Structure 1
Amino acid sequence: MGGIARRTALTAAVLGGGSAALAGCGSPLDPRGGEGSDGEVALTVATNAVSGGKNADEADWIKKWVIPRFVRQQRAKGVDVRAEFVPSGVDDEQYKTKLALDLKAHAGPDIMSLDGIWVGEFAQAEYIKPLRAVVGPGAARWEGWRQISAKVRSLARFEGQLYGIPAGTDARVLYFHKPLFRRAGLPEDWQPRSWQDILDAARRLKRLPGVTPLQINAGTAMGEATTMQGVLPLLAGAGGQVSKGDRWYGDTPQLRAVLKFYRDIYAHGLGDPRLQQEAKGRDKSFEKFAGGKLGILAEGDYFWRDVISPKTGTSPMKRRDNDVGYALFPARARGEGLAGRDYVSLSGGAVHVLNPHTRHPQQAFELLGALHSAAALRARLGDSAMITERDDVNDVVLDKDPMLRFCADKAMPVTTFRPGLAAYPEISLALQEATAQVVAGKNPDHTAAAYRKELQEVLGGNDRLIS
């Protein structure tokens, strides 16, 4: 495992490289900002979304709902504003690199969307600054803060300071295919109370011909989905965590327990190791579940909303509400989860931040607030539902969907978040590599020891290692 030289997209940008990777990277972000014609205030908003393509609903919502209303509101106050949405629709790493290069050049959009795990990287590179440093004390007076819990706000925090406003969040659960459970003689109100309960159910499902019993993402082909849907929820379930403060855990009993659980799945035919090696393995697992060929799947609420949605899903299930069950991730055994919990989850989300070089920080912050107003979020959702950053919006929209209400009421209270630290993406990759080694048949204890050595390389020594 060790000895792999890595360079993230952001690291490449910091070192002055990465520009070659941007060939054909869609529309460039608007570096203009500043003043428009006749002294109007010109603002730009960028997210990795484009009408008719990636995250099209987000792009259309910003262009057709948020910006026109914001411009009217500003002009009613006597401020002449021109605001533009700058689309993208590329691989997330390409989008990330483009932002980093623009910010390094003191250019780029006034408002931009970052994955929550990028905040620490961008902050440490000094590409972004805390909201208070950009806007002043007025940043703390935004009315929306009262509706965003401290737990959700942590998505936008780095070293104790807020860098932006979280753009929604989510939760991880276990999905199960009820018709397969019926055939296997398993209960349709299944809620495992331990990892052993999961394995026991998978062994029952294994008796069904042509069915993969269990999918817990593993390996590097799954990317961050391995860490989010697999390693970190399981680690919390074993009572462990990946970091504490700015220091990192290495070869711990909790990590060994996680890797042994992976071995129990993939060494005994309870999961399909080939899916963990294929570039489209995650999508194939979605298709297998929707087609009644996969019994249990660990995923985020995105799977429910966007993948198996009867009307708009990429792998739609017409009888989703009848055929799909969901349960909390159990701790390894009762009371063994992080903070003594019986159940755990993991959450993530995007963050909207300000360009520290914006020429109009006050108007940019007002546009940022407009993106996160209750009215704007309700307009984006329409008849659909998702877990937003605002409690007042969730109180209204989540009643439309019992599964998302379950996530908000049951999973969010026991959730944890990924650490907002600059080293996290490389450490996440090391965790993915560790699971790949176990799926390939390597000894979990030896793999945990190799993971520790990999951390030494990533962190440049032992100073930031806890174990």
Structure 2
Amino acid sequence: MQNTLSSRVTTRAFKAVLGASLAGALLVSALPSASAATGSVGGVCTKVGDKAKVGKINVICKAVSGKKIWTDTKVYKVSISANAILGGKNNQTATWIQNYVIPQFELSNAEKGKLVDVSFTPAGIDDNQFKTQLALDLASKRGPDVMALDGFWVAEFAEAGYIKPLESVVGAKAVTAWDGWAQIPASVQGVMSYNGKKYGVPQGTDGRIIYFNKKLFADAGLPANWQPKSWADILTAAKAIKTKTPTINPLQLNAGDGMGEATAMQGFLNLLGGAGSLIYDTKTKKWTGNTKAVRDMLGFYDSVYNKDKVGNSDWQLLAGENGRNESFKAFSEGKLAMIIEGDYLWRGVINPVSGNFKMADRNTNVGFAMIPAQTPKSGVNGQSFMSMSGGSGYALNPNSRDKNVAWDLLKFINAKEPVSSFMAIGGAVRISQRQDVNSSVLKSDPCLKFVFENAIPNTFFRPANVNYNAVSVLLQKATTSIVQ
């Protein structure tokens, strides 16, 4: 009896000790150190290399920015793509992504206990080639997690199912909660929207103006503060340059389907609006066809390239971007007097620091003028001046393996500090998507200040309609028939 009682007591004691030991072991497994007990992923730990579990997440103690952080051992991979390459096309964008976005986004996540590996797929090819490659990737459910898109591709990509509204990818609650929307005007948000849905975040917008070479103008007896009030004024100036400086190309007005969408944005859409019509009537839902406005617009092209011969037809007939590049080169070398272009010309192409066609005297020798309507007040809404705005942005791949990390990257590149960093590269500021950045940056740049104050108030956007591209190509071909 005594042995039995003793045995029972011993057994109970053993079970109690065993139970306590198991509980202690479980506690140690879950909370291997005091520091793990007080935090979670991103919390403070004490010894680099310690391992633990936070819930179901394996963590390791890592040194980050002078602190010891419990870090998720899983590595989250995310990719970003743009038609940009170091030392080549859109060098500013490539430099920003590789030297700022990737290291800073990875660091910001590391400080929260998250290991993120960002990869960049650069390109430096014709825009249409980039678009085609991106479409092929997305159609096969591949491609980058975050991708740069021209705003006028959004409707086409959305209709094809290549991209989806942000709320469908990461949820309406996450999209609505982002505080960055408050800094992006609704009109600018429209750059990456379609049918009332946000498909991405715009990187900014732009405007079209006439650039002119002040020295060449002076040689032709034209004023340094030249501002045409009609199409006739443009032709008068071009003819004066042709007469007094015959070796100089007077005017570049993009024409032909070889120039692609540049023919629309830098050319006929501005002229069409100046003649009192937009390419698409949102009220009647009809496209502009054989109207007086279209005939007048084509008539101006005919004057430039045939009647007055103040434009270089050869440039317009070159394939791809070659013709446009020839006009850029000529303007940067002082061999072209006037060019109708977006602010991309100023901040990118002829930038004396980072441009592909650097113009050493850009800051002192380039003048700006608004694009006039056909005659004063003949433009859409009775306007006397016209501009077209486009822009680009970044969208999410709906097939991304980790959509939340991709969304975090999209938010990050559109936050105030990263956008400001982009502006600082190579001195090439631009009209950004964010009002808080524009208010401090644009005042230091004479061209962008001019565009923001003069072109943007008179601007229009291309219609967010899936058929726009087809209609645009038809008008491009109409101008081709004029310059051939």
**2:305 corresponds to:** 266
**2:271 corresponds to:** 234
1:218–1:226 contact (8 Å) kept in structure 2:
yes
1:43-442 equivalence runs, <5 A: 43-137=78-172, 138-208=174-244, 209-245=246-282, 247-267=286-306, 268-279=308-319, 280-382=322-424, 383-440=427-484
1:50–1:88 contact (8 Å) kept in structure 2:
yes
TM-score (norm 1): 0.82
1:385–1:400 contact (8 Å) kept in structure 2:
no
In the TM superposition, residue 327 of structure 1 has moved relative to its aligned partner by 0.3
Deviations 1:280-304 (A, max 9, x none): 3222222332333322211111111
Take 1:215 and 1:134, find their aligned partners in 2: how far apart are those partners? Answer: 43
SS at match of 1:206: helix
CA distance change for structure 1 residues 308 and 67 in 2, over 3 Å: closer, same or farther? closer
In the TM superposition, residue 121 of structure 1 has moved relative to its aligned partner by 0.8
CA distance change for structure 1 residues 48 and 272 in 2, over 3 Å: closer, same or farther? closer
In the TM superposition, residue 38 of structure 1 has moved relative to its aligned partner by 5.0
In the TM superposition, residue 112 of structure 1 has moved relative to its aligned partner by 0.8
SS at match of 1:326: strand
**2:3 corresponds to:** none
Deviations 1:421-451 (A, max 9, x none): 22222222211110111234xxxxxxxxxxx
AA of the residue aligned to 1:232: L
- Percent of residue pairs identical: 44
SS at match of 2:80: strand
**2:20 corresponds to:** none
Take 1:164 and 1:386, find their aligned partners in 2: how far apart are those partners? Answer: 19
Number of aligned residue pairs: give it: 404
Highest relative contact order (Cα 8 Å, sep 6+), 1 or 2? 1
Take 1:281 and 1:39, find their aligned partners in 2: how far apart are those partners? Answer: 49
Take 2:102 and 2:360, find their aligned partners in 1: how far apart are those partners? Answer: 35
CA distance change for structure 1 residues 146 and 372 in 2, over 3 Å: closer, same or farther? same
CA distance change for structure 1 residues 292 and 50 in 2, over 3 Å: closer, same or farther? closer
Runs (4 or more) in structure 1 with deviation over 4 Å come to none
CA distance change for structure 1 residues 78 and 308 in 2, over 3 Å: closer, same or farther? closer
SS at match of 1:207: helix
1:384–1:400 contact (8 Å) kept in structure 2:
no
In the TM superposition, residue 49 of structure 1 has moved relative to its aligned partner by 2.2
In the TM superposition, residue 230 of structure 1 has moved relative to its aligned partner by 0.6
Instruction: Give the CA RMSD over aligned residues.
Output: 1.9
2:351–2:428 contact (8 Å) kept in structure 1:
no
1:171–1:411 contact (8 Å) kept in structure 2:
yes
In the TM superposition, residue 116 of structure 1 has moved relative to its aligned partner by 1.0
1:118–1:420 contact (8 Å) kept in structure 2:
no
In the TM superposition, residue 117 of structure 1 has moved relative to its aligned partner by 1.2
Deviations 1:139-183 (A, max 9, x none): 022111111112211111111111000112211101112122212
CA distance change for structure 1 residues 273 and 60 in 2, over 3 Å: closer, same or farther? closer
Q: Which range moves more in the overlay, 147-156 or 80-89?
A: 80-89
- The higher radius of gyration belongs to 2
In the TM superposition, residue 402 of structure 1 has moved relative to its aligned partner by 0.7
TM-score (norm 2): 0.79
Take 1:151 and 1:66, find their aligned partners in 2: how far apart are those partners? Answer: 26
Take 1:45 and 1:351, find their aligned partners in 2: how far apart are those partners? Answer: 12
Take 1:417 and 1:115, find their aligned partners in 2: how far apart are those partners? Answer: 13
CA distance change for structure 1 residues 261 and 109 in 2, over 3 Å: closer, same or farther? same
In the TM superposition, residue 39 of structure 1 has moved relative to its aligned partner by 3.3
Take 1:219 and 1:48, find their aligned partners in 2: how far apart are those partners? Answer: 23
Deviations 1:261-291 (A, max 9, x none): 1111112222222222233322222233233
AA of the residue aligned to 2:209: V
CA distance change for structure 1 residues 53 and 292 in 2, over 3 Å: closer, same or farther? closer
Take 1:42 and 1:217, find their aligned partners in 2: how far apart are those partners? Answer: 42
Deviations 1:224-260 (A, max 9, x none): 2111111111111111111134642211211111001
